[in-house]
Structure 1
Amino acid sequence: MNPIEVNVLGQTYKVYELAPEDGGTMEDGVLGTTDWTTHEIMLRGSIKEPTGNDSLANLDVLYRETLRHEITHAFLFESGMTGSDTFEGDFAHNELMVDWFAMQAPKMLKAFEEADAL
């Protein structure tokens, strides 16, 4: 699959879906990853494919949330949030915070639109 391109604060990130048959592998349990050094986002292509063991009825929701999660990482990387030492680790790698933004972004966008705040 050809990558899609996303503008992240002026930097183009390419988003790839990795399929095992294309040589793309990820560690077990990892759905996506962002490499700020190459400006690439890689998603497990099989996210959208039911395995029979899935408890999720709509895998497209998981795929989109994972994509938002990785794009959020990219925004934090491009904002220079990799060097923060205000807590253990840095903001760009804080999975709890990144998950929160990825889950809440659609609701925030809707609220901003309703309030004519964009």
Structure 2
Amino acid sequence: MKKNKWIYVLGTKYEIIINAPDKMLPPGADGAMDHSTKKIIIAKFKPDEYSVKELKNYRKKVLRHEIVHAFLYESGLWNNSGDICAWAQSEEITDWIAIQSPKLFRAFKEADCL
């Protein structure tokens, strides 16, 4: 495993664990956010013929995705958006934010509104 990092999500400290062993993740998951332990866990990606080729970029996307989950949780939206199919727990909205955030930040920077 790489050396762990720490970030603050709306004032709450989260540990980021990169290249985590499979046993730390749900079966088949590339990443996970555990709000009970305040950990973001990213799998150890091994290139093979079935994997994406740009693993560094994919790792960043997975990390962004899990950080977005943490923000949704810490903001209260996770618990207060309805049942398990609610939008704040949705993989689709989380992925949209994670995938589009670099483009959003670039546009904000270009517009000088950060």
Q: TM-score range by the shorter chain?
A: 0.7 to 0.9
Percent identity among equivalent residues? 33
CA distance in 1, matches of 2:31, 2:84: 23
Number of positions where the alignment pairs a residue of Structure 1 with one of Structure 2? 111
Give yes or no for contact 2:61–2:99 (8 Å, CA) kept in 1: yes
- Identify the residue that residue 19 of structure 1 maps to in structure 2: 21
Give yes or no for contact 1:6–1:12 (8 Å, CA) kept in 2: yes
CA distance in 2, matches of 1:24, 1:37: 14
Q: Secondary structure at the match of 1:34?
A: strand
Matches within 5 A, 1:33-52: 33-46=32-45, 49-52=46-49
Consecutive unaligned residues of structure 2, counting only runs of 5 or more, are: none
Q: Deviations over 1:48-107 (max 9, x none)?
A: x202222x221111110000000000000000012212x762333110000000000000
- Identify the residue that residue 59 of structure 2 maps to in structure 1: 63
Consecutive unaligned residues of structure 1, counting only runs of 5 or more, are: none
CA distance in 1, matches of 2:73, 2:113: 25
Q: What is the CA RMSD across the aligned residues, in angstroms?
A: 1.7
What TM-score, normalized to structure 2? 0.87
Q: Secondary structure at the match of 2:36?
A: coil
Aligned amino acid, residue 99 of structure 1 = D
Among candidates 95, 104, 108, match of residue 104 of structure 2:
108
CA distance in 1, matches of 2:13, 2:25: 23
- Identify the residue that residue 73 of structure 2 maps to in structure 1: 77
CA distance in 1, matches of 2:56, 2:110: 25
